Amino acid sequence: MKNRIQHGSKTIAITVLLTLTLLAFAKVPKSLQQTQPPKIPMYIHGTVYITKVTGENITAPEGINVFGKIEENIVASTETNATGYYILKIDVTTYEGKTVNLYVEKVGPLASKTVSSGSYPQDLTAVDTEPPTPPTNVACISPPSDRLPNFNWTASTDNLAVEGYYVNITGYPTYWIGNVTEWESPDTLPDGNYTFNIWARDLAGYNSTVASINFSIFAPPPTPPQVEIIAPTETNPLYTQAEKTITVTYQYTEPSPLNATIKVYNATYTVIQITNTTAITPGTNITQTVNLTIPQTAPEGKYDLSITMYNTYNLSTTATQSNAVIIDNTAPTIAYPYQDPPGQVMQPGIIVEIDLGQNVTVRVNVTDLTSGVKTVILSYNISATEWANITMQNATGNEYTATGNEYTATIPSSHLPIDTTINYYITAIDNAGNTAETPTSGTYFQSHVIPEFTQTLAVLLILLAFAAIIAIRKGKEQRLFHQI
Ligand SMILES: [Ca+2]
Ligand SMILES: [Ca+2]
Ligand SMILES: [Ca+2]
């Protein structure tokens, strides 16, 4: 049955008995192919046995494919269930007389299949003798500051399949990284020049040549943090009292922050100093707020605020705001409460009379040396139960007191009827929230509305009295004249 294709039907099933010709697929010179196993693909010219078989075909085993090639036409094989024979069905009317090239190819990883050829079992291990190509376009894709550099490349190719890659950085360990096209070094690199090497391995274990690129690590030296005080500032200071809690807000930029020291101080006294380490996260324009409680013993005065930010390289930057925190425990001073009409400095408990139909202007001098006057309020009533508040306006050019800081308000009293009593007192609040009141709590400045004509009548009476005296005198002179 050697070299025989049996005729008799249009399609002849032929079993390829893979015998000596397919013994092995070791790498050998072509000149030895007659007596030595040939390479794949194997060209067969009358060196295989072909047998007509009957029976049901099954799928060829995984990993090995046997097929015929007639001119440019591929004839795929199947495998018989019972015998393990590979079967090529060849249409005789089409291909009679043609040469059938028989191929054995490996279609999976390192597959082998033992097929039986009568008494000649053969091990059909597909042997790969070609190494893969090295990867191309190898590149370092991370910046020089990245001490764990990243690389990528275009995949290698292989006659069968690339299994994966070996990589290393010269002087560092070699890693098997599988079939990927990107890698990050797990080794932290100091500043320097390096070579990255990569080579592929195929499924048969052949290595490609090595592809290499040079790259550098040059991380910039660390710089001090950037820090800025947001609040309080010299422009917008924070007025407070002892034992009160203040909030400090600052902003920083630092990739490796360590801590921040917040200090409220002046040349002679440090009010408070704390080092903030919690929630110090790396980043750009990170805003932090810190609450500080002013100690009870802190003297009044103006204090600077500083924030010193450290990074893990022990580099620091200090931001300062002068006179940003003002501690004031003293109430403002209220002096010279003056009322017009009648135009006099007021005393509590002494009722001054005002004419009907007059508005009353009240002036007062308020000073606060530490934090400054925030608000001055005149509270008045005409019924002893309903108090009304007027914010007194700051005025300059005080003509009634020796110092400045005069505040003025007008009580709308012109509509008040005769016998109305106006009570009022003045409250001053400084910027730290200290308050003062005058007169002392529970007493008031008081005015009483009287009829306007009371005075006019008095003047009239005086004038009438003078007129009467003159008339009497004139009468006496006339009598004297007539007597002469
Ligand atoms: Ca290969
Ligand atoms: Ca990296
Ligand atoms: Ca004060």
Mind listing the pLDDT tens digit for each residue in 336-378? 899 988 889 999 888 999 999 989 999 999 999 888 899 999 9
CA of residue 366 to ligand 3 center, whole Å: 11
With tokens 């009438």, the residue in question is 464
User: Looking at residue 399, which CATH number applies to its domain?
Assistant: 2.60.40.10
User: Does residue 418 fall inside a structural domain?
Assistant: yes
User: Domain tally for the chain?
Assistant: 5
| Boundary residue ending a domain (99, 125, 151) | 125
User: Does residue 5 fall inside a structural domain?
Assistant: no
* pLDDT tier, 179 (very low <50, low <70, confident <90, very high otherwise): very high
Which ligand is located closest to the Cα atom of residue 185? 2
Please give the residue that has the higher pLDDT: either 125 or 357. 357
Please name which of 52, 32, 33 lies closest in space to residue 41, comparing C-alpha atoms. Answer: 33
User: Does residue 43 fall inside a structural domain?
Assistant: yes
User: Does residue 1 fall inside a structural domain?
Assistant: no
What was the pLDDT predicted at 224?
Answer: 95
Per DSSP, the three-state class of 111 is: coil
- Dihedral (Cα; 6, 7, 12, 15), 10-degree rounding: 0
| Boundary residue ending a domain (97, 125, 153) | 125
Residues 423 and 477 in one domain: no
Residues 298 and 402 in one domain: no
Indicate the range of 58-62, 150-154, 478-482 predicted with least confidence: 58-62
The neighbourhood of ligand 1, an ion, using CB within 5 A, equals: 128, 130, 158-160, 202
User: Does residue 344 fall inside a structural domain?
Assistant: yes
CA of residue 200 to ligand 1 center, whole Å: 10
Start-to-end CA distance of the chain, whole Å, equals 199
Residue 401 has pLDDT above 60, yes or no: no
Can you give the residue range of the structural domain that contains 468? 455-484
CA of residue 346 to ligand 1 center, whole Å: 112
Residues 163 and 98 in one domain: no
Average pLDDT, the chain: 78
**pLDDT (average), residues 270-288:** 91
What was the pLDDT predicted at 370?
Answer: 87
Please name which of 53, 106, 107 lies closest in space to residue 80, comparing C-alpha atoms. Answer: 53
* pLDDT tier, 204 (very low <50, low <70, confident <90, very high otherwise): confident
Which ligand is located closest to the Cα atom of residue 143? 2
CA of residue 342 to ligand 2 center, whole Å: 86
User: Does residue 112 fall inside a structural domain?
Assistant: yes
CA of residue 145 to ligand 2 center, whole Å: 9
Residues 459 and 422 in one domain: no
Mind listing the pLDDT tens digit for each residue in 92-109? 667 766 766 666 665 555
User: Does residue 204 fall inside a structural domain?
Assistant: yes
Residues 359 and 397 in one domain: yes
Q: Where in 266-397 does DSSP place strands (E)?
A: 270-276, 283-293, 301-311, 316-327, 333-340, 344-345, 351-355, 360-367, 373-381, 388-391, 393-395
Of the chain, the percentage scoring pLDDT greater than 90 comes to 52
User: Does residue 175 fall inside a structural domain?
Assistant: yes
Which ligand is located closest to the Cα atom of residue 149? 2
Distance between CA atoms of residues 64 and 69, nearest Å: 16
Residues 272 and 308 in one domain: yes
Distance between CA atoms of residues 324 and 316, nearest Å: 21
What was the pLDDT predicted at 226?
Answer: 97
Residues 36 and 111 in one domain: yes
Q: Could you tell me the pTM of the whole model?
A: 0.52
